[in-house]
Structure 1
């Protein structure tokens, strides 16, 4: 793409254009002179000067005007692109651009997503003013750039909440990176704009699972962030990995009572089955309970249970009226 951003580029390009504008007519008149020799010299001497002077005077201003238009167009595109890509306050990626690049990275090689939220940020705005709150957000973005690698995609999701994608990171690497952010915040965000604030962050982390969408990963990271907030803030919580994504499966133990191979009864075989609807599961459990009750009733011999045999109960003597059993 043809791009011009500086005035120096404009003048250089104008000089090149002027040179070609002068050389082309001069060479056009000089080429016959090479064939006809001195017989053509008089005509060449008359025609060559206007052919060189006209583009020499006309080409530079026209070239500069056109090139300046290209320059302004390029600078306008850069401003629009910067507005779309970068947050105006903090300089990190915008939410839209961050999510778009994160989807590309997850499709290419996975990674981990961090949800980062400034602790007690509303209290900072209410106590010190929104200008100090803006400085706190700038400090948070600065700490994120320092603590994380250059490959990390850092963006502002909204308000005091930031998102970070760590391409190709596993759970251990993601947890270490999050802990590094928390530690650096404690050491560098104590004083902001001359105010003793002691800004800290809470972080929720979720590792990408193949087949899982970015929205699902962010939801898991957000749940981990909520857990970090609820358990005291200024800490990192990692979301548990899920069993499956595209087709959820439940892990159930083989309860047949047979020991597994090798004689260890505790080492029971694990099987995976797809979850059934709740109504169907309830019907099966009721049916199974009825069958077990019927089997138990058939297996036990019929026997009369005397009240004397029941602890805490009394039975009257023969011939007496037998009132209702009374507990002692």
Structure 2
């Protein structure tokens, strides 16, 4: 199961309590089904037994005959009927919960790489924008050549490797997602220009170091990165567009490098001239 990097502890005790209650009633295993069926059966048996036992307590021995006659049917009928009905209904709830989990996984996570899907990444990024940060667009260089030369299975392995490196190379609060094809997006909450540049530089280095050989094939994988720091008053779309423009600037400048859009001071990207490009 992929790590949910965006999860934070809720500040509301009431919300936390309600979430814990919901967890108690979530049914995902047959063991839970049988356990809840047993509890339900116990209540189903207890109610009629108490119904006949309470008059016996008040009326005493004169009521013993009626109590003895009614007691066994009161126990046997719910004992025979309740378990199969409860198991059937609870199992339907289990199947429903598992189906919802699968749909939720499909909506949130990219099936190939395990990072967030495009829609979910952008949605979570939009929620985090009020606190500021930087958006990075990361694109694998010459990815079509990898697919054409080594096959799509190696290309898929390269994408999974990229996702692994992104998780390794950014902070735990970062939002990581696949935008489509060989393009990934990363949002760094609260990051400044220099912090975004440092993160991009680190990712370029990691990909170059760890992506040289993939699946036994000499890939020499590199990435180009465009960064844009979110400004107050800008929309998410405008910030992403700036990052996209910076990405294409990195591509046009030789790949295996990064650019920060509208940087207010010189970025370490100036030192990239000596890097190997391809």
Q: Same fold (TM over 0.5)?
A: yes
In the alignment, what sits opposite 1:41?
64
Does structure 1 residue 66 correspond to structure 2 residue 89? yes
Structure ranking higher in helix proportion: 2
Equivalences, count: 241
For residues 61-91 of structure 1, give each alpha carbon's deviation from its aligned partner in whole angstroms, at most 9, with x where no partner exists.
1000000101111111111111111111111
Distance 1:13 1:63 in 2: 8
Contact 2:146 2:154 in 1 (8 A): yes
Residue 212 of structure 1 aligns to a residue whose secondary structure is coil
Q: Offset at 1:179?
A: 1.6
- What corresponds to 1:166 in structure 2? 188
* Residue number in structure 2 paired with 1:249: none
CA distance in 2, matches of 1:79, 1:136: 25
TM-score of the pair, normalised by structure 1 = 0.71
2:171 is matched with: 149
Match of 2:156, SS state, is helix
Q: Give the equivalent residue in structure 1 for 2:208.
A: 186
1:1-328 aligned at under 5 Å gives the runs 1=22, 2-107=25-130, 109-240=131-262
Aligned equivalents of 1:216 and 1:42: distance in 2?
83
Aligned to 2:14: none
Cα offset, 1:202, TM superposition? 0.9
Q: How far apart, in 2, do the equivalents of 1:44 and 1:174 lie?
A: 79
1:148-178 CA-to-partner distances (Å, cap 9, x unmatched) read: 1221111111110100111111112212221
Secondary structure of 1:87's partner?
coil
RCO comparison, higher one (Cα < 8 Å, 6+): 2
Which digits, 9 at most, give the CA deviation of each residue in 1:255-305, with x for residues without a partner? xxxxxxxxxxxxxxxxxxxxxxxxxxxxxxxxxxxxxxxxxxxxxxxxxxx
Residue 241 of structure 1 deviates from its aligned partner by: 5.0
Distance across 1 between alignment mates of 2:79 and 2:225: 65
- Alpha-carbon distance in structure 2 between the residues aligned to 1:235 and 1:220: 16
For residues 241 and 179 of structure 1, do their structure 2 counterparts lie closer, same or farther at Cα, with a shift above 3 Å needed? Answer: closer
CA distance in 2, matches of 1:181, 1:6: 41
Provide, for residues 95-147 of structure 1, a one-character-per-residue CA deviation record: whole Å limited to 9, x for no partner. 1111111111103x111100000011111011111111111011101111111
Contact persistence 2:250–2:258 (CA under 8 A): yes
Output the TM-score relative to the length of structure 2.
0.84
Work out which of the two has the higher radius of gyration on C-alpha atoms and give 1 or 2.
Answer: 1
**Structure 1 counterpart of 2:271:** none
